[in-house]
Amino acid sequence: MKNRKKLYIIAGFVLIPAIFIVAALMSNRQQTPDAIVHTPPSFSRQNDQQLAQFLTPADSVTHLLRALRDWDLADAAQWMTPATDLIFSGTYRGVLFPLITRIEFNTRVERISGTTAIVDVSVYAVDLRTALGDLTEHAANYLLHRELEDSPHDWPAFLAEHVARLEDTNSLIRIMRSAPAHLVMDQGGNWLLDAGNPDNRDFYNAVSGGLLNLLDMLDEVEPAAE
């Protein structure tokens, strides 16, 4: 009988602390539930075709402009339909790369109509014509020498040479341009800039600091007289 009482006493000393420990653990679990980690979706459409449902047209424009600002043309291509003769290419790297890294932008309004959309974009960028000054005389002499050498003109190389002469691109004046970006939805439901759409000219000019207008001006220059 005495042995049984001793066993009860020993069991009490063991069970009572155990009960308190279990109660404390249960209390802590109720107060601090397991944390849920939310991983944002990857914004690489090549890796996740299900991403389309998360992206708006404005999202696609934002990711396109970020890629162009980083001069990551492979990434930028993911947010545009295929097109030829785009100024955002290796051909114009020497002109745009020193300047495009300074662009700032915001998307304001998007209008969706079926599989097409328009996003209003404001871009704060260096104005090329202001930065390079009047190139008319230089361009005329350049064309003359090209004619004498019987070789075609190369405006990207011509402009890249003048951009390279700029001493401090960080001090160049920037201006704000607003333009609509026209997008289309592909078969996977992804919103892409309609790269070949002529209505995107103003958007390209805004992002490039007016490069298309500058190229038009150069094309109107006549070779200098001998």
pLDDT digits (tens, 9 = 90+) for 149-178: 999 999 999 999 999 999 888 889 899 999
Provide the residue range defining the domain that includes 163: 55-219
Q: What is the pLDDT of residues 56-66, one digit of tens each?
A: 999 999 999 99
Assess if residue 101 is contained within a domain: yes
What is the band of 226 on the pLDDT scale with cuts at 50, 70, 90?
Answer: low
Q: What is the pLDDT of residue 9?
A: 44
Per the CB < 8 A criterion, the answer to whether 158 and 139 are in contact is yes
CATH number, residue 165: 3.10.450.50
Tell me which of 34 and 62 has the higher pLDDT. 62
Percentage of the chain with pLDDT > 90?
A: 68
Backbone φ and ψ of 185, nearest 5°: -95, 130
Tell me which of 177 and 38 has the higher pLDDT. 177
Structural domain total, the chain: 1
Assess if residue 100 is contained within a domain: yes
Assess if residue 79 is contained within a domain: yes
Residues 6+ away with beta carbon under 8 Å from 175: 124, 125, 127, 130
Q: Is the dihedral of CA 56, 58, 60, 63 positive or negative?
A: negative
Assess if residue 213 is contained within a domain: yes
Assess if residue 14 is contained within a domain: no
Q: Say yes or no to pLDDT of 7 above 90.
A: no
Dist CA 186 CA 172 (whole Å): 38
The half-sphere exposure of 17 on its side-chain side, counting CA atoms within 13 A, is: 4
Strands (E), 19-164: 104-113, 116-126
Assess if residue 74 is contained within a domain: yes
Assess if residue 86 is contained within a domain: yes
Assess if residue 110 is contained within a domain: yes
Q: What is the pLDDT of residue 84?
A: 86
